[in-house]
């Protein structure tokens, strides 16, 4: 390594980021998180920053259909991956069934956790449909991915809601899971 | 699951009583609702704050040279740069915008920076060199009571002492004879509101020399009235617009970054955005007052209360914030919703060098409720009565007087509520030794046992909360209502400055306008300071106060329409008159100060009750608690929107659960040990059990539609009910919340 090299200088990379079906050619700082890229560079402020440390789930988005906390995901690692944020859940003007259910069941108050809850729920339903066990379902030895309320709670426990809208969040997801 | 004895019937076009969806709900689920942290302007700068690492220190000097020289930095400001008043505060102007010659708590703001990138701003703040001379802090609130403790502010460390004396205690401290006496000492830890959307806002300098601030707050006008003097500007040049609020719970009553962003914007001539991160948020707002309480209850052999004596010490931290009102609530509500002939209460709020404490949902009343309800269970045990029976025997009802001598002159069906609660079906309990379903066990899937140590318990508690501002405060709200034809159809625009913080106020205001005017098409305009004050989204008061103001403005509009005779349709009249607009202020029944020596006086305008039953599973070996079910009965006078109301009761119960079992800002020598969501735990969806609700409607004739404020009461009773259930399961005394595993397992 060259002694003159400034180790604190940013290292950047050109890449193509695909979000909600749109390709964005961008130059990213290799230290940049997906959450910051979405919010500060692409003007997609739907994903929220509640902690920036992977503790609250407000920043949850889908990468190739799987839920991730975007505050702990480095953008540079996402070349060729398909990212879906809350802004991309609806099918044009037709809302995702979970979006409709959240409104109908009043599964939100301030709504700050809602984008993360929704992305997490979309990912969770897909996991269950694919027959993925949760820690609990696996415990009995058989994979029973039936989403009763206890199972929904178990699988959604990474998303905090400080307004305490949990009772209605469970109801909204249960309606769609049925 | 909810049952309600609702008399309200929803009308067909979206008036009060119906499960109307939130008008902002669609934007919120689409990710398009603009929270304060989402705001963006092309040429904006980012602000950052340098905070004190010391709990108490003298500031010897501040060297800005290096920070100012950093490329990308546009301004570095200290107290010298505050254009006007250097202090602000809700009740006392004792808090510096930026520390002047000393810091009084860890995390106090000392200097601010504006730069072209948030990281640059943060690094520049770090490059500011402050030399401090640390001073010995006062962190023990009991010491702060001692006149010999070093004063944190001129005038000493007692912020407010409020006695309450009734019956024999008017003559002296000697207690009357009682068959049964129980004594207990209790403690409540420092809870954080932990709203999910951290403090943030965007200040934009205006051509007229003023500033426009887009901000997440609870009360736009009181922010403005503190901001303008600090900025040295007349109030009309300081314009505030409510940005999306990511939860509040009291933590947005005080200023945080408001003055800082405006100062930086005015200095640089550029828009300035400040967003706190989670750690800074823990230092950026006030917390719930920790409390130490000593209670003594005397009763006759039948369990009827003869007297209550209480000392309640509330740690207000470094600045006053809402401490005056918090002490008033603790004192006036300190005996709970019970008939007690002789009362002797002393409530104190003190300054310490701990983080400032102020408003959090149910303030003052939450702490006292944990004390008096713990006592009622002790008394029940001592008298051989059930927890429900002892409470019914002493319950207030219409015609009773509370500790302040204030007559309960509206329905207070506490005995009925308790009976109903006790009659609710119990949840199916997993067997004392549950099977392999780990989800039923305390600790859930991380359980390391098969539940051999699990015990179940049931607990009950009641709570009494004042609604709206008390003690003679001129509490009012303003609404402007405009009716006009849009596209040939009548349309109503409701404009208020009331903050929607997630409670669903905008839904309810539109419902009220529909009910009053019979017009389906209603829009609630964004809240800002171009209309009169609405007061705070606090004290469960907005449906009552701003709801009352909207109703009054609608009535004024109706009066003008009526002048045109009943025969004509609204559309015909509006076609003739053009738009009709009316603005009204609404005030609740006046309240009065508490007597400084006896605490007597009609200090509250409305009282609200909630009762909880908690069922818990406790692993006595691991010290883990799982709340199996919470059941609640609350009287709300009149239901305006059932689903939003239930959400408030769920949320309030969840925050009470957090205080009972996990939430505490832990401190050592005034330093915060756990400013993150890794170490400050709030209830997850797994911690929050299913709820059984019953909602009663006994109207308060003094309130609009007979309603009772509903946002807070459930926060009170949830905590002591859960603790009572854990005591019931374990036989432990558990005098402190939150209960930690070592309080159960290591005893
Ligand atoms: S912001 Fe990513 S988990 Fe909290
Ligand atoms: S709705 Fe406010 S945090 Fe979930």
As for how many domains chain A has, the answer is 2
* Secondary structure element (H or E) that encloses residue B455, with its range: strand B454-467
Check residue B12 and give its pLDDT: 54
Q: Which ligand is nearest to the CA of B500?
A: 2
* The predicted structure's pLDDT at residue B5: 46
Lowest model confidence (mean pLDDT) among B434-443, B516-525, B567-576, B710-719: B434-443
Residue A144: what pLDDT?
46
Higher pLDDT, B530 or B432: B530
Q: Which of A34, A52, A86 maximizes ligand 1 atoms within 8 Å of its Cβ, making it the mutation to test the pocket? A: A52
Q: How far apart are CA B463 and CA B689, in angstroms?
A: 20
* Whether A48 contacts A116, CB under 8 Å: yes
Percentage of residues in chain A having pLDDT higher than 70:
90
Cα(B416)–Cα(B3) distance, integer angstroms:
15
Kindly give the distance from the C-alpha atom of residue B196 to the centroid of ligand 2, in angstroms, as a whole number. 7
Q: Please, which residues bridge with residue B159 across strands? A: none
| Interchain CB contact of A114 with B (< 8 Å) | yes
**What is the whole-number distance in angstroms between the Cα of residue A70 and the centre of ligand 1?**
7
Stretch B714-721: mean pLDDT: 98
Within 10 angstroms of residue A97's Cβ, the number of other Cβ atoms is 14
Asked if A6 reaches chain B (Cβ–Cβ under 8 Å), the answer is no
Which H or E run includes B648?
A: helix B642-661
Tell me whether B38 touches chain A (CB under 8 Å).
yes
3-state helix, strand, coil split of chain A in percent (to 5) is 35, 15, 45
In a domain, A124, yes or no: yes
* Averaged pLDDT for residues A113-135: 92
Report the C-alpha gap between B617 and B453 in whole angstroms: 10
Option in A52, A85, A156 nearest B31 (CB): A85
Residue A113 resides in a domain: yes
Q: What is the pLDDT of residue B126?
A: 98
Residue at a domain's end among A43, A65, A88: A88
Q: What pLDDT is recorded for position A4? A: 55
Residue nearest to atom 3 of ligand 1 (CA): A54
**Residues from chain B contacting residue A89 (CB–CB below 8 Å):** 30
**Cβ pair B254, B193 in contact under 8 A:** no
In chain A, what residues touch B447 (CB-CB under 8 Å)? none
Cβ(B159)–Cβ(B144) below 8 Å: no
Task: Of B701, B465, B464, B712, give the one whose Cα is nearest residue B588.
Answer: B701
The contacts of residue A58 (CB under 8 Å, 6+ apart) are A47, A48, A49, A50, A51, A112, A113, A115, A116, A159, A160, B196
Could you tell me if B558 and B517 are in contact, meaning their C-beta atoms sit under 8 angstroms apart? yes
Q: What is the Cβ-side half-sphere exposure of residue B572, based on CA atoms within 13 angstroms?
A: 7
User: Do A117 and A144 sit in the same domain of this protein?
Assistant: yes
Q: Nearest residue of B to residue A135 by CA position?
A: B445
Q: How far is the CA of A32 from the centre of ligand 1 (A)?
A: 14
Average of per-residue pLDDT values in chain B: 96
| Alpha helices in A33-165, H assignment, sequence order | 34-36, 97-104, 114-129, 135-139, 149-155
State the number of CA atoms in the 13 A half-sphere of B650 facing the CB.
31
Q: Which residue has the higher pLDDT, B661 or B452?
A: B661
Asked if residue B408 lies in contact with residue B607, where contact means CB atoms within 8 angstroms, the answer is: yes
Assess A10–B contact: CB distance below 8 Å, yes or no. Answer: no
Would the pLDDT of B298 be above 70?
A: yes
What is the tens place of the pLDDT at every residue in B76-92? 999 999 999 999 999 99
Chain Cα centroid distance, residue B397: 26
pLDDT digits (tens, 9 = 90+) for B334-347: 999 999 999 999 99
Pick the closest to residue B596 from B347, B357, B363, B371 (CA basis). Answer: B347
Which of 576-605 (B) contact A at CB < 8 A?
Answer: none
pLDDT at B1: 53
Q: How many CA atoms lie within 13 A of B540 on its CB side?
A: 30
Kindly report the nearest CA distance between residue A99 and chain B, in angstroms. 6
Q: In whole angstroms, what is the distance from residue A40 CA to residue A33 CA?
A: 10
Q: What is the band of B658 on the pLDDT scale with cuts at 50, 70, 90?
A: very high
| CA–centroid distance, residue B710 to ligand 1 (Å) | 31
Shared domain check, A145 and A81: no
CATH code for the domain of A151: 1.10.150.120
Q: What DSSP string runs through B4-62? A: E-------TTS-TTS-PPPTTHHHHHHT---BGGG---TT-EEEEEEE-SSSSEEEEEE
**Strands in B501-639 per DSSP E:** 522-524, 580-587, 606-619, 624-635
Residues of A in contact with B40 (CB under 8 A): 43, 45
Q: Write out the residue range of the structural domain in which residue A108 sits.
A: 97-177
User: Where does a domain end: A28, A61, A88?
Assistant: A88
Residues A67 and A103 reside in one and the same domain: no
Closest atom, ligand 2, to C-alpha of B195:
3
Closest CA to B651 of B693, B680, B618, B697: B693
Contact between B166 and B405 (Cβ < 8 Å): yes
In the three-class reduction of DSSP (H, G, I as helix; E, B as strand; rest coil), residue B298 is classed as strand
Contacts of B25 in chain A (CB under 8 A): 102-103, 106, 108, 111
Cβ within 8 Å, pair A47-B31: yes
Statement: residue A174 has pLDDT above 80? yes
Q: Is residue A5 part of a domain?
A: no
Name beta bridge partners: B478: B585
DSSP designation for B415: H
- Measured by CA distance, the residue closest to atom 4 of ligand 2 is A161
Q: Identify each DSSP E strand in A8-150 by its residue range.
A: 12-19, 22-29, 60-63, 66-69, 82-84
Instruction: Looking at the structure, tell me whether residues A124 and A153 fall in a common domain.
Output: yes
| Location of structure tokens 């409510």 | B242
Which residues of chain A does B684 touch, with a Cβ-Cβ cutoff of 8 Å? 157, 160
Q: Is residue A4 part of a domain?
A: no
This prediction has a pTM of: 0.96
Question: Residue A145 pLDDT > 60, yes or no?
Answer: no
Ligand number with the minimum distance to the CA of A168: 2
Given the CA of residue A111, which atom of ligand 2 is nearest to it? 1
Checking DSSP bridges between strand B238-242 and strand B211-215, what pairing results, if any? parallel
CA A89 to CA B569: how far, in whole Å?
A: 44
Among B424, B469, B468, B430, which Cα is nearest to B451's? B430
Sign of the CA dihedral B506, B508, B511, B516? negative
Residues A80 and A102 occupy one common structural domain: no
Q: Could you tell me the two tokens for B722?
A: 């859960």
Helices assigned H by DSSP within B70-195 = 118-127, 141-145
Question: Cβ(A169) to ligand 2 under 6 A?
Answer: no
Q: How far apart are CA B685 and CA A161, in angstroms?
A: 8
Q: Please check whether residue A119 lies inside any domain of the structure.
A: yes
To the nearest whole angstrom, how far is the Cα of B40 from the nearest Cα of chain A? 9
Asked whether A59 lines ligand 1 (CB < 6 A), one says yes
Q: How confident is the model at residue B372 (pLDDT cuts 50, 70, 90)?
A: very high
Of B723, B717, B659, nearest to B457 by C-alpha is B723
Closest CA to B268 of B45, B40, B42, B41: B45
Predicted confidence at residue B566, as pLDDT, reads 73
- CB contacts of A104 in chain B (<8 Å) are 21
**Residue B222 forms contact with A (CB below 8 Å):** no
Residues of A in contact with B22 (CB under 8 A): 103, 106, 108
Q: Tell me, yes or no, whether A159 and A126 share the same domain.
A: yes
The per-residue pLDDT for B481 is: 98
Go through B361-397 and write b for each residue having 16 or more CB atoms within 10 A of its CB, e for each that does not: bbbbbbbbbbbbbbbbbbbbebbebebbebbbbbbbe
Q: In order of start, what are the domains of chain B with their CATH numbers? A: 9-33+476-587 (3.30.365.10), 37-135+198-245+252-284 (3.90.1170.50), 407-468+602-745 (3.30.365.10)
| A77 and A101 together in one domain | no
Residues A84 and A135 in one domain: no
The 3-state DSSP class for residue B693 equals: strand
Which residues in chain A (59-98) have CB-CB distances under 8 A to chain B?
85-87, 89-90, 95
* pLDDT, mean of residues B68-72: 98
pLDDT at B446: 73
CA of residue A156 to ligand 2 center, whole Å: 14
CATH of residue A76's domain is: 3.10.20.30
pLDDT at B7 > cutoff 50: no
Chain A residue nearest residue B29, CA to CA: A99
A76 with A113, same domain?
Answer: no
Residue A103, chain B, CB below 8 Å: the answer is yes
Report yes or no on A168 lying in a domain. yes
Euclidean distance between CA atoms B744 and B625, whole angstroms = 9
**Cis-peptide into B738, omega within 30 deg:** yes
Same domain, A67 and A110: no
pLDDT in tens, A49-99: 999 999 999 999 999 999 999 999 999 999 989 999 999 999 999 999 999
Last residue of a domain, one of A37, A61, A88: A88
Indicate whether A46 belongs to any domain: yes
B298, B306 Cβ separation under 8 angstroms:
yes
Separation of CA A109 and ligand 2 centre (Å)? 5
pLDDT band at B9 (very low <50, low <70, confident <90, very high): very low
Helix pair B642-661, B713-730: axis angle to 10 deg: 40
Tell the residue number behind the tokens 């509640």, with chain if given.
A50
Query: Does residue A109's CB lie within 6 angstroms of at least one atom of ligand 2?
Result: yes
Share of chain B above pLDDT 90, in %: 94
Residue B437, pLDDT above cutoff 80? no
Map residue B216 onto helix, strand or coil: coil
Give the whole-angstrom CA distance, residue B561 versus residue B279.
55
In this model, does residue A172 exceed pLDDT 90? yes
The answer to whether position A7 is within a domain reads no
pLDDT of B179-200, one tens digit each? Answer: 999 999 999 999 999 999 999 9
Of A40, A53, A86, the one to substitute when testing ligand 1's pocket (max ligand atoms within 8 A of C-beta) is A53
Q: Is residue B127 a contact partner of residue B79, using CB atoms and an 8 Å limit?
A: no
Please check whether residues A77 and A113 belong to one and the same domain: no
Alpha-carbon torsion B396, B399, B401, B406, what sign?
A: positive
Residue A116 three-state SS: helix
pLDDT confidence of residue B436: 57
Token pair belonging to B570: 């609204």
- Res. B113: pLDDT tops 90: yes
In angstroms, what separates the C-alpha of B29 from chain A's closest C-alpha? 6
A37 lies in the same domain as A54 = yes
Question: Which residue of chain B has the CA closest to A57?
Answer: B196
């Amino acid at each position: 390594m060259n002694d003159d090299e400034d180790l604190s200088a940013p290292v950047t990379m050109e890449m193509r980021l695909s979000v909600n079906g749109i390709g964005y050619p961008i130059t990213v700082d290799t230290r940049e998180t997906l959450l910051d890229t979405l919010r500060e560079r692409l003007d997609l402020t739907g994903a929220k920053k509640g902690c920036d440390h992977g503790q609250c789930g407000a920043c949850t988005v889908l990468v190739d259909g799987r839920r991730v906390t975007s505050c702990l995901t480095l953008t540079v690692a996402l070349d060729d991956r398909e990212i879906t944020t809350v802004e991309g859940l609806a099918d044009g003007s037709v809302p995702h069934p979970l979006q409709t259910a959240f409104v109908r069941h009043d599964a939100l108050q301030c709504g700050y956790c809602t984008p993360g809850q929704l992305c997490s729920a979309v990912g969770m339903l897909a996991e269950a449909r694919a027959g993925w066990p949760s820690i609990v379902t696996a415990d009995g030895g058989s994979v029973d991915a039936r989403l009763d309320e206890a199972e929904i709670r178990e699988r959604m426990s990474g998303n905090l809601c400080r307004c305490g809208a949990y009772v209605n969040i469970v109801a909204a997801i249960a309606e769609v899971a049925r | 699951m909810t049952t309600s004895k609702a008399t309200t019937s929803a009308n067909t076009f979206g008036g009060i009583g119906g499960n109307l969806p939130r008008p902002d709900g669609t934007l919120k689920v689409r990710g398009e609702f603009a929270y304060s942290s989402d705001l963006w302007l092309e040429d904006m700068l980012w602000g950052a704050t340098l905070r004190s690492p010391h709990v108490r220190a003298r500031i010897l000097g501040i060297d800005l040279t290096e920070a100012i020289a950093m490329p990308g930095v546009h301004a570095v400001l200290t107290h010298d740069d505050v254009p006007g008043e250097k202090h602000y505060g809700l009740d006392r102007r004792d808090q510096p915008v930026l520390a002047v010659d000393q810091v009084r708590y860890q995390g106090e703001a000392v200097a601010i920076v504006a730069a072209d990138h948030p990281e640059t701003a943060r690094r520049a703040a770090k490059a500011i060199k402050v030399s401090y001379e640390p001073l010995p802090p006062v962190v023990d609130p009991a010491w702060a009571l001692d006149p010999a403790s070093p004063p944190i502010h001129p005038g000493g460390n007692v912020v407010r002492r409020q006695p309450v004396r009734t019956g024999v205690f008017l003559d002296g401290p000697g207690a009357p004879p009682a068959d049964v006496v129980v004594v207990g000492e209790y403690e409540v830890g420092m809870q954080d509101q932990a709203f999910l959307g951290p403090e943030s806002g965007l200040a934009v300098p205006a051509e007229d020399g003023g500033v426009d601030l887009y901000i997440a707050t609870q009360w736009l006008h009181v922010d403005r009235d503190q901001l303008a003097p600090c900025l040295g500007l007349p109030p009309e040049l300081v314009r505030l617009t409510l940005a999306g609020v990511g939860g509040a719970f009291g933590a947005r009553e005080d200023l945080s970054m408001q003055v800082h962003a405006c100062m930086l914007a005015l200095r640089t001539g550029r828009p300035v955005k400040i967003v706190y991160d989670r750690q800074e948020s823990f230092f950026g707002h006030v917390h719930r007052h920790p409390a130490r309480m000593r209670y003594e209850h005397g009763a006759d052999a039948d369990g009827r209360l003869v007297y209550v004596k209480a000392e309640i010490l509330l740690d207000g931290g470094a600045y006053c914030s809402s401490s005056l009102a918090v002490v008033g609530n603790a004192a006036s509500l300190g005996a709970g919703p019970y008939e007690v002939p002789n009362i002797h209460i002393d409530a104190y709020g003190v300054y310490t060098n701990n983080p400032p404490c102020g408003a959090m949902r149910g303030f003052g009343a939450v702490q006292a409720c944990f004390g008096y309800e713990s006592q009622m269970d002790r008394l029940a045990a001592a008298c051989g009565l059930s927890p429900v029976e002892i409470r019914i025997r002493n319950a207030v009802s219409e015609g009773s007087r509370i500790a302040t001598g204030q007559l309960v002159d509206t329905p207070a069906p506490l005995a009925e509520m308790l009976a109903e609660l006790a009659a609710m079906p119990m949840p199916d309990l997993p067997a004392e030794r549950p099977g392999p379903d780990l989800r039923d066990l305390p600790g859930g899937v991380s359980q390391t046992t098969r539940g051999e140590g699990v015990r179940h318990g049931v607990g009950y508690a009641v709570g009494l909360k004042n609604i709206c501002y008390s003690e003679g405060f001129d509490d009012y709200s303003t609404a402007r209502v405009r009716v006009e034809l849009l596209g040939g159809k009548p349309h109503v625009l409701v404009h208020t400055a009331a903050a929607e913080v997630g409670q669903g106020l905008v839904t309810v205001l539109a419902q009220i306008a529909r009910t009053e005017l019979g017009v389906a098409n209603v829009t609630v305009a964004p809240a800002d300071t171009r209309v009169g004050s609405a007061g705070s989204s606090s004290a469960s008061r907005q449906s009552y106060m701003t709801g009352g103001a909207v109703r009054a403005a609608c009535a004024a509009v109706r009066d003008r329409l009526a002048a045109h005779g009943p025969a004509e349709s609204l559309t015909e009249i509006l076609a003739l008159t053009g738009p009709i607009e009316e603005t009204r202020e609404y005030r609740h029944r006046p309240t009065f100060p508490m007597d400084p020596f006896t605490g007597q006086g009609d200090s509250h305008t409305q009282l609200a009750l909630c009762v909880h039953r908690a069922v818990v599973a406790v692993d006595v070996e691991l010290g883990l608690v799982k709340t199996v079910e919470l059941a609640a009965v609350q009287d709300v006078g009149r239901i305006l929107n059932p689903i939003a109301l239930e959400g408030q009761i769920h949320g309030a119960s969840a925050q009470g659960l957090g205080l009972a079992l996990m939430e505490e800002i832990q401190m050592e020598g005034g330093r915060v040990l756990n400013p993150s969501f890794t170490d400050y735990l709030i209830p997850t969806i797994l911690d929050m059990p299913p709820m059984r609700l019953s909602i009663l409607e006994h109207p308060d004739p003094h309130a609009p539609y007979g309603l009772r404020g509903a946002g807070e009461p459930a926060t009170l009773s949830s905590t002591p009910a859960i603790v009572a259930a854990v005591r019931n399961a374990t036989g432990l005394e558990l005098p402190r919340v939150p209960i930690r595993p070592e309080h159960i397992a290591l005893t």
